[in-house]
Amino acid sequence: MKMKSLDELKKLREKAQETIRLREQEEGTKIVVGMGTCGIAAGAREVMLALVDELQKKNLKDVVVTQTGCAGLCEKEPLVDVIRPGEPKITYGYMTAEKARSMVTSHIVNGQVIGEYVIAREDSGD
């Protein structure tokens, strides 16, 4: 494909930026999935894959999914933390792939915490 104008370059750039966004963002929403042995046994990997897939489907750009080890509350695994800039950290428990998908729609897109799933709420301290 030969590029003929700056507009064509811009189109290609916007598409290409998707691939490297993960490396550039320092701020933005973080979703942390507990991935200790307890979390994995309770289905954390399915939860994480559902999250990644849902974010991708909804084209949510400023959200990253990371993982963490066991938080100590193995009983309530899979645990998912949502950290939005300037808001307290919300921890969801007993997550499933379906719950994760609806959480993305409700919490990440619309800013509505799903109280029913929440097990902890914590101010970041700053």
Residues 97 and 117: their CA atoms lie apart, in Å, by 13
111 token code pair:
């800013």
Give the residue with the Cβ less far from another protein, 15 or 116: 15
Binding mask 13-42 for another protein (x = CB under 8 A): x-xxxxxx-xxxxx---x-xxxxxx--x--
Residue 90 Cβ vs another protein, minimum distance, rounded to whole Å = 18
69 token code pair:
């080890």
Site residues (CB under 8 A) for another protein, limited to 59-88: 64-69
CA distances from 62 to 71, 113, 116 (A): 25, 18, 25
Binds another protein (CB under 8 A): choice among 47, 48, 79, 103: 48
Closest C-alpha to 67, from 93, 42, 48: 48
Residues 98 and 112: their CA atoms lie apart, in Å, by 17
How many chain residues bind another protein (CB under 8 A)? Answer: 39
Residue 50 lies near another protein (rule: CB under 8 A): no
Residue 49 lies near another protein (rule: CB under 8 A): yes
Do residues 90 and 118 lie in contact, with contact meaning Cβ atoms separated by under 8 Å?
Answer: yes
Kindly list the residues in this chain that would bind another protein in the complex (CB under 8 A): 1-6, 9, 12-13, 15-20, 22-26, 30, 32-37, 40, 48-49, 52, 55-56, 64-69
